[in-house]
Amino acid sequence: MREKLILVTNDDGYASKGMAAAIEVARSFGRVVAVAPEATQSGMSQAITMYNPLYLRRVRQEEGVEVYAFSGTPVDCVKMAFDYLLREERIDLVISGINHGSNSAVNVLYSGTMGAAIEGSFYGCPAVGLSLDDHDAAADFEAAVLYGKRIVGDVLADEHPVLPLCLNVNVPKGRPEEIRGIRLARQNRGFWREEFFRREDPRGREYFWLTGAFVNAEPQAEDTDEWALAHGYVSVVPVQVDLTDYGQLERLGKVIKEV
């Protein structure tokens, strides 16, 4: 049988701890090629680089694993892999992550991790975004690796996947024995309320730091990714890119007259 080829990327950079964990997941299933940003690209969503040159360099090669650093965004990294670096090969799966911090609820729209996973699904192969609900630089990725392997294994074992397929997987903070299991879920309806802190530099120029808090708009719902994480479960949400609000189409037909 042909050895499977797994593309790994992320938004925290090629040298991040989460990247090493994602490569550990991928190595269980075949040959790994990792293309990730030179530096942190969190919050880049589907951004691409159009007005600056891009630089690619191989930083590590060993049996079964190649790691490249790319000067672009996470989506740039996926495009580079599919359209240049591996254009003569068939990629079997894209793994994006493992992200420091969850990408549940509306975070999926901001996330560079999920932006890369979604981009991978555009190329006709399954994609999995993996995130750990822990922002600590010393975060323990053991549970995320364990459950990442389980979910990736199930995806690769599916002989007839319905494509495009993109999964948003979030793992709660904790040791593997503390995780209660896996839950298929839907995206929580929530939003961020931002706050800007104003400061002045030594020359008197004002500048701002952005912070904020997430507001769960349906805290009692038990079928969401936020509920799963809060109750110790790994959440798995299938993601689609069609943003059409179908519920509004019929009503708007009575408000906006087509000509």
Strand ranges in the chain using DSSP code E only, listed in sequence order: 5-9, 31-37, 56-62, 65-70, 93-100, 127-132, 166-171, 181-184, 190-200, 206-216, 233-238
Model confidence over 115-159: pLDDT tens digits? 999 999 999 999 999 999 999 989 999 999 999 999 999 999 999
Report d(CA 79, CA 136) in Å as an integer: 30
**pLDDT at 258 (0 to 100):** 83
**pLDDT at 176 (0 to 100):** 97
Does residue 18 lie in a domain region?
yes
Model confidence over 177-205: pLDDT tens digits? 999 999 999 999 998 898 999 999 999 99
In which residue ranges of the chain is pLDDT below 50? Answer: none
Does residue 156 lie in a domain region?
yes
Does residue 199 lie in a domain region?
no
**pLDDT at 82 (0 to 100):** 98
Global pTM? Answer: 0.94
Does residue 107 lie in a domain region?
yes
Does residue 152 lie in a domain region?
yes
Count structural domains, the chain.
1
**pLDDT at 65 (0 to 100):** 98
Beta strand 93-100 with 127-132 is parallel
Strand ranges in 10-135 using DSSP code E only, listed in sequence order: 31-37, 56-62, 65-70, 93-100, 127-132
Q: Give the domain CATH number at 161.
A: 3.40.1210.10
Which residue segment(s) compose the domain that 152 sits in? 5-189+222-241
Does residue 140 lie in a domain region?
yes
Q: CA quadruple 84, 85, 87, 88: dihedral positive or negative?
A: positive
Does residue 231 lie in a domain region?
yes
**Burial zone of 162 (CB within 10 Å; 0-12 exposed, 13-18 middle, 19+ buried):** exposed
